Each structure stands twice: as C-alpha cells, then as structure tokens.
Amino acid sequence: MSAKPVCGPDVLVVGWIPYFETPPEVPGYPRGASTKLLFNSGNPNPPERFDGYDDFASWLSPLTPHGTKEYRAAVYIRNVSVEFQPVAEPVVRRRENAFIGYTPVRLIAGGANILSEVPNLPRYASGVGPVRSSQVTADGSGTAVEIRYYVEFKLSRMMNLLSRVTTGSWAPYAWCEIVYSIDSAGSVDVRVDGSAIPSLRLYVDWAKPAANPAIGIVPEYDMLTASAADVVGFIKTTGWGCRPAGGAQRLSWHT
C-alpha cells in the first residue's frame, strides 16, 4: 500500500518591469537612454491575488487569447504531492510551467509613444526563453524533498537589437529559480532566487502572502532597490551580453 501523500501549496512567481515615463531617481540606475528605454517599456503591477489557477489562467496571455501581456515571466509549481515511503525514494508529483512574457514597444517623449508612429510595429514583442530545468532531490533520510525549477527569459529579438543600438551591448538573460522544500510532516519552505531585473512577486495558493521579513516571509522584490553593480550587467556591461545575469535570493516563504 502506498503511503498517504503529503500535499503542499501552489507557488507562483510573476516578474514585471515597473513603468515610468521619466526614470525614477534611484541610485542603482544611471541616467541615459538605456534606463529610459527600460522604464518606458514597463508594466502595471500584477494583481495581489488570484481566485485559484483558473483565475490566473484567465488573466494571462497566452493561456487566454485576450489575457494580459503586461508581464515579463510567470513561473509556477502546483499540485505538489509527495509519498514518503519507509524503504524507497519519495514519489514526487507536481505540475510546473513557465510563461515567457512580453516587452511593450514604447519610447515615451512628451507623454506620447513615438514608436507607435512606426508602420507595422507591434504593441508588444514576445520575449524568448531557451532554458528551463527541473530537478528533484531527497535528503539522506528520505523524509524531505527539494524541487528546483529554473527558467531564463529575455527581451524579444527586436527589443534586444534596440538595446544593442542604444547601449552597445546585447541584453543578458534574466532568470528565476523556485526552490520548493517539503518534508513528511507537511512543513514547506520556498525560496526564489533571481536576477536583479525584473521585479518579482510571490504567490502562495494564488495570493501574495503578508510580508514579515523578521520571520523570513518576503513576498516581493523591487528592482528599484538593485545596486549599480547589478544594474550595469543589464544595460552596460558587454561581457554579460546573451548570458544569464548575476543573481541572489529575492523572495522567501515558509509554513
């Protein structure tokens, strides 16, 4: 007889660029055309919560034909269940998926998008994301497992070319990795590592949890807090072009 499965919450991460017509005065971002282009291509903040997976799917393009394109990436692990067995490896089941988002095609001057005047230019350009990897490991005692789901995503080819023209270098790949740990008692620990850009929001069972950094609950990362050293990897440093940018832990949650 199989052991009764231990189930964990669904976890979603959405990435986006905050929109500014005039770039904000923050220490990490240099003044210039590259910074303006970055924030002119920004998005509204994503919702604070969804009423389950179906609500999320109805919000998102391409899952829904008329869903939003105002995001850079959406990555989830859901329907997690683990059968911890006394004399065998745990049996792990889950669903994972990643949606590489879009870049709004804008360059704002005098309150108007001057790129909208270019004939046949689309309103949104699809990003690219060639790398996805999933890994499951069990601890030595067989009483806990760790699921890792890693995704890279990048500007569309058209916007990457524009980045090359304005900055002299190709844009790097942004990335995020969900590290989801669950043990036989049902305790869950979630960590999200990622690049300095974009901003990231964590959802647990489709809602953003209340922040409590003192106990390790950090549901949102604001890319405006990125250091100059991290930002330069996206918009100036030639050596990082077309490779994953540097990163660090951005979000965390646990039961």
- What local confidence, expressed as pLDDT, does residue 36 receive? 83
Please identify every stretch of the chain with a pLDDT value under 50, giving residue numbers as ranges.
Answer: 1, 237, 240
- What local confidence, expressed as pLDDT, does residue 166 receive? 59
Q: Is 77 exposed, middle or buried (0-12, 13-18, 19+ CB in 10 A)?
A: buried
Contact 69, 59 (CB under 8 A): no
Amino acid at 59: W
Q: Considering the chain, what percentage of its residues have pLDDT values greater than 90? A: 58
Q: Strand 132-138 relative to strand 220-221: parallel, antiparallel, unpaired?
A: unpaired
- What local confidence, expressed as pLDDT, does residue 80 receive? 98
Contacts of 65-71 with CB under 8 Å at 24 or more apart are 69/101, 69/102, 69/104, 69/124, 70/16, 70/43, 70/44, 70/46, 70/101, 70/102, 70/104, 71/14, 71/15, 71/16, 71/43, 71/46, 71/99, 71/101, 71/102
